[in-house]
Chain A
Amino acid sequence: MEIAIAGLVCLIFAIIARKLSFPAIPVYIIAGLALGSSGFGILQADEVSKKIAEFGVVFLLFYIGLHINPREVGAKRKTIFASGFYDLLINFALVFILLFATGFELSRAFIIASSLYISSSAIVLQSLIENRKLILKEAEIVVWMMVFEDIVIAILIVLNSVGFSDLLYFFAKLTLFTVLVLILSNTAPKYLDRVMERDDEAPLLLVFSAGLLGLAIEELFQIPYAFAAILIGLMFSQVKSVEEMVIPFKDVFLILFFFFFGVSTKFDMGGLALGIVLAIVAISGKVVSGLLTGLRTEKSWKSGLEIGLNTIARGEFSIFMAFAFGDVLISSAITVTVLITSILGSLTSRYSERIISALGRASQ
């Protein structure tokens, strides 16, 4: 019953968000917060909704993997690296050092830095399309930046999951799994293509189970499901029509994940204050890294600002980090950061041109 209510509430909010051309991710979280334990307390998260939320996460990570096409990445590695380098340096490395210096313990600094680093591909790309920026060179750089971040995500997840006693054994297992998937990536797509070409329910079932396979691998081999799901996605990135088929599954489960994340988030004042501070760090970090990237690739601060203003929104991955690794304080802080940056980021993307020309006039 909760699931049906959640779905209908999200439906109403989705329509409203579309009408106001407002990013949908923060809206689902706010809806969950309002109806859950932090708000009116109408809904509770139970075992079933937890499972559904987990499905959303595993589909999201599978989808992220799907966008890392090893061949394309290999061919474009210079461009991808140039687009993503300053982003990683400032929004991950520098933020991590800052947090550590201000007294956060190593593991928490790492979780927060990971969440602040990754922009929301969903919001960022949607904004580029809606605000008609695809002709711009900067739009291409932003797209490659998202690809670079997606690659780093896989590494971050592994580093965040290192809570296991036997490190050596854990890494040996991971390496073995990774090598296996990469070997399969060379042979499996041929056979998978054959299944995907059928016109019955077989392709749907294949895509659905492939998306969820990460969960099974965690239970069987204690390999973090997030990492497994990304790698399986990577394997499927060369199989045709998987992407369009997985989108409906991903969207439904991921929206429910955002909603129930909101429902189960316990809010505290400490989290709110920290979240606001982190949001300021998150926004200025992306503006600075965008500026540096633009100066390096396009030799222009205007380009750099365009890149920066288009990458401010944080979203799905940051919420996943809070859900998977965060404690109460970190979870509520990151939620606040995501709400602020996703809403502000949509606006800065929409009005970037005005902001840049205003700054251009001011500097003369």
Chain B
Amino acid sequence: MVRLTGMEGIGTKYELETSKGDKIAVVFLLNRRVQLYIQEKGCEKPCSIEMSENESKRLATILSGAPVEKEKESIEVDFMGIPDLTLALHTYTVGRSMAGKTIEELAIRKRTGVNVIAVSRKGNTIISPPPHLIFEEDDQIVVIGNKDQIERFEKEILGA
């Protein structure tokens, strides 16, 4: 059960108590920094750290169990209202095997179930690329799907 509190003039606080009774609080400050508090059950004094926005995103990635590798940064999104829905967003760099082909040709969605939602090429971003878009080597692409679909994508399309 997550408790959300708006703290006027400070930011937003999310609190979570684990089934073992440990307490965790995350506070998103107005200056975009993030404070994380951990309080062991029965311990008077909580411990805390403060991190930048980027550091907190990396931590979130690690906590969600997704592998973080240099070439494959990803985030997983959980929705509070739908507890069993986890969306994974991954970024990949287009290699030789995909270059010169279109999304349609590769039949990405049919074969793997993932959707390519953005392509970044030399600093320009194309959101929701059309199926006839031809990939070029070194394009950065963002794909969305669930864990299984992403794994299939890595095996079928990237590994091809």
User: Taking beta carbons and an 8 Å cutoff, which residues of A are in contact with B?
Assistant: 67, 69, 72, 121, 125, 128-129, 132, 134-136, 139-140, 143-144, 146-147, 243-244, 353
Contacts and interface: CB of A to CB of B under 8 A. Distances in A.
B6 interface: yes
Contact of B9 (A132, A140, A146, A244): A146
Contacts of A69: 8
B127 to A, nearest CB: 18
Contacts of B9: 67, 121, 125, 143, 146
Interface of B: 5-10, 13, 15, 23, 25, 27, 29-30, 35, 37, 39, 45-46, 48, 50
Chain A interface SS verdict (over half): helix
Chain B interface SS verdict (over half): strand
Contacts of B46: 132, 135-136
5 A-B pairs closest in CB distance? A135-B37, A132-B48, A135-B25, A134-B27, A143-B7
B8 A129 contact: no
Contacts of B10: 125, 128-129, 134, 143
A136 B13 CA distance: 11
Contacts of B8: 67, 69, 72, 143-144, 146-147
B39 A135 contact: yes
A134 B37 contact: yes
A219 B45 CA distance: 53
Contacts of A147: 8
Given A125-B9, A125-B10, A134-B27, A353 B35 contact: no
B2 to A, nearest CB: 14
A135 B29 contact: no
A246 B9 CA distance: 13
A17 B152 CA distance: 56
A140 B27 CA distance: 12
Contacts of B35: 129, 132, 134
